[in-house]
Structure 1
Amino acid sequence: MPEIKKYLSIVAVGASRDKLARDLVDAVVQRGCEISECRITPLGDQFSAALLLSGNWSAMGKMESALPGLAEQLGLAIQSRHSRPAEPETAYRPYAAEVVAPQQTRLLGELLDFFAEQETRVVEISAQAYESGLTGAPMCTLHIALQVPLNHHPQTLRDAFMDICDDLHADGLLDPVKT
């Protein structure tokens, strides 16, 4: 009988330093866990990581027991939850939206409202503010991974997306993800 895998989601935040990602990954591997999913990114001057770990019950127990000491050793705040991998969404197709716009507080909220009204699922968001190298204007870029219901007409959704981008004085692209 095959051994049943257990899953643990952890989120870690702390002051950024050299080799912190490597130290965190090493700590996971030393306890017999595998990294099924991982997102590590700086947030300002902070290090942030979100990981989905997998392993047998023994490895998961070792990992959970080690988290408080590991948090102290690495200088991180760590939260964890028992988890499982995401189920495939066969009634949806993957899309990616990219928006470049002048920095405005309502931009992300308006886009999320739009996608909710379209009955699409927002899977992942990446946002970055910056100053234009040419003009110095405050700008932002958003990358949004979506799941669009199969019964949505692609051109109708794309046209509505372009309309909201126009209303927000933004440039946008909405394309299927080709995997």
Structure 2
Amino acid sequence: MPEIKKYLSLVALGTARERLAHDLIGAVARRGCAVEECRITPLGDHFSAVMLLAGNWSAMGKMASALPGLAETLGLSIQFEHTEPGVPAPDYRPYAAEVVGPQQPRTLGELVAFFSEQDVLIHELSVQAYDAGMTGAAMCTVHMSLRVPINQHPQTLRDAFMDICDDLNADGLLDPIKT
């Protein structure tokens, strides 16, 4: 009989230091868990990690009971919850959106509101602010992984997306993700 996988979602945040990712991932492996999904990124001068761990019930129990001590040892704030794997969305098509434009407080909010009003699900989202190399202008790039309803007409959505990009003085791309 195949062993049943259990899942644990984990979010860690703390002051960045060398080998922190190595130490965290090593601690997960030593307790018999596999990393199914992981995003590690700096946030200012901090380290952040979002992970989905998998293992049998024994490994998950060891991991969950070790996390408070591990957080203290590594100098991290760690939150975790038992979870289930994501469910596929058969009534949706995968799309990617990218927007590059001036850094302004309303950009992200208006993009999220636009897709919500179109019944488009935001699967993943990342934002980076930066100063343009040639001009020094404050800019931002928004990357989104989307789930567009099958009944949504692609060109109508794309036209409306381009209109909101124009309103934000931004350039945008909206394309299907080829899997």
Band the TM-score falls in, shorter-chain normalisation: over 0.9
Partner of 1:126: 126
Distance (whole Å) between structure 2 residues aligned to residue 91 and residue 134 of structure 1: 44
Match status 1:48 vs 2:48:
yes
Q: TM-score, normalised by structure 2?
A: 0.99
Distance (whole Å) between structure 2 residues aligned to residue 157 and residue 112 of structure 1: 14
Distance (whole Å) between structure 2 residues aligned to residue 138 and residue 2 of structure 1: 54
Partner of 1:111: 111
Task: State the Cα distance separating 1:84 from its structure 2 match.
Answer: 1.0
Task: State the Cα distance separating 1:59 from its structure 2 match.
Answer: 0.3
Match status 1:23 vs 2:11:
no
Partner of 1:10: 10
Runs (5+) with no aligned partner, structure 2: none
Amino acid at match of 1:2: P
Partner of 1:79: 79
Secondary structure in 2 aligned to 1:72? helix
Task: State the Cα distance separating 1:22 from its structure 2 match.
Answer: 0.9
Distance (whole Å) between structure 2 residues aligned to residue 177 and residue 42 of structure 1: 27
Percent of residue pairs bearing the same amino acid type:
69
Partner of 2:164: 164
Runs (5+) with no aligned partner, structure 1: none
Once the two structures are superposed, residues 135-163 of structure 1 have per-residue CA deviations (whole angstroms, 9 ceiling, x without a partner) of 11100000011000111111110000000
Secondary structure in 2 aligned to 1:151? coil
Secondary structure in 1 aligned to 2:4? coil
Distance (whole Å) between structure 2 residues aligned to residue 11 and residue 23 of structure 1: 15
Task: State the Cα distance separating 1:4 from its structure 2 match.
Answer: 1.1
Secondary structure in 2 aligned to 1:17? coil
Once the two structures are superposed, residues 64-118 of structure 1 have per-residue CA deviations (whole angstroms, 9 ceiling, x without a partner) of 1100110011110000001011011111011010000101001000000000011
Distance (whole Å) between structure 1 residues aligned to residue 158 and residue 135 of structure 2: 30
Distance (whole Å) between structure 2 residues aligned to residue 118 and residue 124 of structure 1: 17
Q: Please give the root-mean-square deviation of Cα atoms over the aligned residues, in Å.
A: 0.6
Post-superposition, which runs of at least 4 consecutive aligned residues in structure 1 deviate over 4 A? none
Distance (whole Å) between structure 1 residues aligned to residue 47 and residue 178 of structure 2: 30
Q: TM-score, normalised by structure 1?
A: 0.99
Amino acid at match of 1:36: E
Match status 1:91 vs 2:120:
no
